[in-house]
Amino acid sequence: MCTLLFLPHSFNAPPVGLVQYEAYMTDDLHTHETLMRELMSDERRTEYATPYDHYHPGIIARIAAWLLVVPGSLIYGKKPSYRKFKAIEIIARIPYQSWEAASYTLLTLFHGDEQRALALAKTTRWSRMAQDNETMHVVVVSHLVHKLGRESFVRGIVIPVLFSLAYFAAVYVLYLIHRRSALELNYLFENHAYAQYQEFLDRYGMVLKGRPVVSEFLSWYGREVKNEYELFESLRNDELIHRNRSIREIEARCC
Ligand SMILES: [Fe+2]
Ligand SMILES: [Fe+2]
């Protein structure tokens, strides 16, 4: 998807199907970016968040989320920090990759069922876009962590990667056998990320407003921010959109 989304302007005369596909995905990205900007307003954000603030996930999702969040807080601290965000963002991309892989597995099995194939294909489209969004998060946050100086190889790379491998396998299996729990687990993880970004903004807002952001990757993604405050606001809003969308998937697919 990412290749298609960011085709250079000089790309000439692609097949009609490709044009339609690109237009669809661009429109989806445009919708996301428009909503993300709307959510800068406290009033609009409250209105958007409230219907899903008190959603109650099932026991499977709650146990799995506990296994992610509690060790994470023990290793990286309870308070939000740049290094904790980097670990969160390495792990945050994983469910979307797992969902895509699991959806393709299901499409292999159920390709003859057009309605089911359509539902799965719609989910994979969204998960591909979310992967690109989370990739932007991890690249930009890693760049900020790099500026802080040396970081522990174990805490900075080894632990998040091991978490990611286990998370990928667990979510893949969960998505195949109990999709609701896989989506609810993502709701909980995204809610955690959303709350951590908000706390970070509340604690260090004044400092963050004085730190400019220069990121080639962020510009390439198509997002402009003046300083770290605006960057973290935009990341917070992305996580809120992912959080709500996880439950909307359940509502739409009735799984
Ligand atoms: Fe993220
Ligand atoms: Fe997210």
Q: Look up residue 75 and give its two tokens.
A: 């290793």
The per-residue pLDDT for 7 is: 37
Ligand 2 center from residue 53 Cα (angstroms): 16
Ligand 2 center from residue 239 Cα (angstroms): 4
Query: What is the value of pTM for the model shown?
Result: 0.86
Ligand 2 center from residue 151 Cα (angstroms): 24
* pLDDT surpasses 90 at 1: no
Residue 117 and residue 115: Cα distance in Å, rounded? 5
DSSP per position, 153-215: HIIIIIHHHHHHHHHHHHHHHHHHH-HHHHHHHHHHHHHHHHHHHHHHHHHHHHHHHT-B---
Ligand 2 center from residue 133 Cα (angstroms): 8
Residue with more model confidence, 43 or 23: 43
> What domains can you pick out in the chain, each with its CATH number?
55-253 (1.20.1260.140)
Least Cα distance to 238 among 134, 135, 142, 97 occurs for 134
pLDDT digits (tens, 9 = 90+) for 139-188: 999 999 988 887 788 988 899 999 999 999 999 999 999 999 999 999 99
Ligand 2 center from residue 183 Cα (angstroms): 12
Ligand 2 center from residue 108 Cα (angstroms): 27
Q: Which residues of 181-217 are buried (b: 16+ CB within 10 A; e: fewer)?
A: bbbbbbbbbbbbbbebbbebbeebeeebeeeebebee
> How confident is residue 5, by pLDDT bands cut at 50, 70 and 90?
very low
Ligand 1 center from residue 140 Cα (angstroms): 10
- Ligand nearest, relative to CA of residue 245: 2
Q: Look up residue 44 and give its two tokens.
A: 């609009």
Ligand 2 center from residue 148 Cα (angstroms): 24
Neighbouring C-beta atoms of residue 107, cutoff 10 Å:
15
Helix (H) or strand (E) holding 224: none
- Ligand nearest, relative to CA of residue 234: 1
